[in-house]
Structure 1
């Protein structure tokens, strides 16, 4: 495990971060040029080695409900990667994409519509909600089990 001083040296090697001391000898590191309201990259780095890096929405990290990943046991490479990824994420504009909407039809000509809505995949029969799933693959598996096929030419 890296010491507090080693973690500090790694984090402070990123010149775009600003150190801010907080309570109980903990330290935060901010990215002042963030394109978002969120500026804290490293939160509550403590002399005992505990601390967090903000990685919300960055693939490859298992963040808690606040978007933070614990760095207590992080190696030098892992810490550098997490801090670099966090800075990059706060530097890039998020591109909004259109939600997915697909039409599916069965052999009898019945039509269902699969829509991505608020982090869910909903299947509609007309205006009525038929079913809802947590991810796209689950919804597609259901449709296939019910012998529906996707109408070609729909939005991806």
Structure 2
């Protein structure tokens, strides 16, 4: 029985230490953790905007884009949460004050003005995210985070292109 308890205690200790190491044995750097936190805020903001677009957008194409954005961010958020948990982190799920202010502004717009502002904001966000993703890809040593960032960068590129096409098709910017 003592041998069983010793094994149980040893297993518990190993499990407690496991979150400090990613799958490839490389812990997240301070910069990696900051990236994940910024990414979590950004993802929450994009998802909130897209949920709003499902309610407010006049254009069916924009509603379709919003639904794809929600689905993509839901999948990426699951990956980010897994990486964070394995590294003893809790990611924020709320908008920053600046994001909340911008969200409230878009929420106050009528449908046509919302369409224009939403597409502009999504284009801006995804272009900015691509820059941050590329910077993180260059600096991270963590293979799991690198894969997550590559997935996010691919999504950001697709969404930036889609927003540009929506902008052109809907004459959102004159």
Above 0.5 in TM-score? no
State the TM-score, normalizing by the size of structure 2.
Answer: 0.22
Identify, as 1 or 2, the structure richer in strand: 1
Larger of the two Rg values belongs to structure: 1
Which has the bigger relative contact order, CA under 8 A and spacing at least 6? 2
State the TM-score, normalizing by the size of structure 1.
Answer: 0.24
